[in-house]
Amino acid sequence: MKKTIATIILLIFCLPIFAQSNTSETYILLKPDRIFDGERMHAAWWVLIKGNHIEAVGEATTIKVPANAKVIDLKGATLMPGLIEGHSHLFLHPYNETSWNEQVLTESRAERTARAVNHARATLMAGFTTVRDLGTEGAAYDDVGLKTAINKGIIAGPRMLVATRAIVATGSYGPKSEVAEAEIIKGGEEADGIDGITKVVRSQIGHGADVVKIYVDYHWGLNSTAAPTFTEEELKVAVQVAKSSGRMVAVHSSTTEGMRRAIAAGVTTIEHGNGGTPELFKLMKEKGIALCPTLNATESILSYSGWKKGTDPEPAAVKQKHYIFTEALKAGVAICMGGDVGVFAHGDNAQEMILMAEYGMKPLDVLRSATSVNAAVFALKELGNIKAGYLADLVAVEGNPVEDMKVLKKMRLVVKDGVVVKE
């Protein structure tokens, strides 16, 4: 009896070890027609996954396939690294469903989190295995909890880099009330002066922010025109504090002066960049600052107002997007793929990539932007490329996206961390 009890106890303690060992020895062989490895396209390559990492990649004859490997035949498909969404708001949903103001003011935190859970799953199923989520827009630090739930396997979703509340200058951001004395929830955390912005940056980092998001300008000028918010000195201190902790700084900017101050401060990425000029893009290139142009957000908002693309003339905002995108490409600025999803539907992330090609970016460069470029800019090690030793975040689409970008919406396979989540 004593020996039996001892054996049972031993098995109880050893079972987790056995399970872990079995998981690490799980092999999956992927056999697509072609592989985009994050840099180049390769025909007739295979990928072997072991556990949650890529064991081998290359021509079929170079890969030793274990007898117990699960084989997934992807005939006609293109295999790519898991796509990386550079500008997301999982706690928002399309503005033609509910306006931004109404979402912030009338939807409970519980409702917004419930929506975010659905948005996270839709994003993953669309092939975006990582997102940089740039602000909860009034939902406090709930993105940190969402990220934790995904990491624990409680819900399905992408890897997340979170910005928590985002930082705005006092008085600049919404929602606003006609009653001056009314205290209402804000879409970002307000800060004032050198000491104020320093404290807020540190507070957000303390609450779990992976990235610091700052609105360097907003529609708070005379007659609601866009105007800079923080001074150059305030921004420099904020960047210094954030980067001293290893965090990147992403800034919302739609004005030329706001961009100039952000560039001088040494931020990591500029979101939107509508005030960009050849001179500013030259400076961005020199300082290694990337642009996240968010083309689809602009087109989506205009479509909600009645603009019919392909039928109606291009509005000034669309023409400006074409201009800044073209000038950034000419200057050689690193372009991050990020659509400001949440303004439009989660799961339709690939529409930004389709527009990037439509606006003049070479298809292969668009694929790089959503994989290796975003991984490099966001300091995501072992992601964004298909290489031995990298994490097994992989997706496959029907056909060849270099020939037709629309196939990016035909997701055939999604693998995250070595686990097949869509087949």
In this structure, are residues 382 and 372 in contact, taking their beta carbons and an 8 Å threshold?
no
Instruction: Read off the pTM.
Output: 0.93
Q: Could you write out the DSSP letters of every residue in 279-334? A: HHHHHHHHHT-EEE--HHHHHHHHHHTT--TTTSPPPHHHHHHHHHHHHHHHHT--
CA distance 13 to 272: 53
What amino acid is encoded at 330 in this protein?
K
Q: Could you write out the three-class secondary structure of 61-100? A: HHCCCCCCCEEEEEEEEEEEECEEEEEECCCCCCCCCCCH
- Burial tier of 96 (Cβ tally within 10 Å: 0-12, 13-18, 19+): middle
Q: Are 32 and 79 in contact (CB under 8 A)?
A: yes
Residue 258: its pLDDT value, please? 98
Amino acid 7: pLDDT: 47
Q: What is the SS3 string spanning 217-286?
A: EECCCHHHCCEECCCHHHHHHHHHHHHHCCCEEEEEECCHHHHHHHHHHCCCEEEECCCCCHHHHHHHHH
What H or E segment, with its residue span, contains residue 411? strand 411-416
By the 10 Å C-beta count (0-12 exposed, 13-18 middle, 19+ buried), 316 is classed as exposed
Q: Any bridge partners for residue 227, and if so which?
A: 218
Strands 27-36 and 70-81: parallel
Amino acid at 239: V
Query: What is the rounded CA–CA span in Å between residue 166 and residue 42?
Result: 41
Residue 361 near residue 11, CB atoms below 8 Å: no
Compute the distance between CA of residue 269 and CA of residue 292 in angstroms, rounded to an integer.
7
> What is the residue-level pLDDT of the chain in tens, covering all 423 positions?
455 444 444 444 444 433 333 445 799 999 999 999 999 999 999 999 999 999 999 999 999 999 999 999 999 999 999 999 999 999 999 999 999 999 999 999 999 999 999 999 999 999 999 999 999 999 999 999 999 999 999 999 999 999 999 999 999 999 988 887 788 999 999 999 999 999 999 999 999 999 999 999 999 999 999 999 999 999 999 999 999 999 999 999 999 999 999 999 999 999 999 999 999 999 999 999 999 999 999 999 999 999 999 999 999 999 999 999 999 999 999 999 999 999 999 999 999 999 999 999 999 999 999 999 999 999 999 999 999 999 999 999 999 999 999 999 999 999 999 999 999
What pLDDT does 121 receive?
98
**In the prediction, which pLDDT does 15 show?**
40
> Are the C-beta atoms of residues 73 and 31 closer than 8 Å to each other?
yes
Residues 404, 148: Cα–Cα separation, whole Å: 36
Structure tokens at 59: 């021509």
Residues 348, 357 contacting (CB under 8 angstroms): no
Structure tokens at 96: 């033609």
Cα R_g (the chain), whole angstroms? 23
Q: How far apart are CA 322 and CA 305, in angstroms?
A: 20
318-347 per-residue burial string, b: 16 or more CB within 10 A, e: under 16: bebbeebbebbbebebbbbbbbbbbbbbbb
Q: Which domains does the chain possess?
A: 23-81+386-422 (2.30.40.10), 83-348 (3.20.20.140)
pLDDT of residue 8: 42
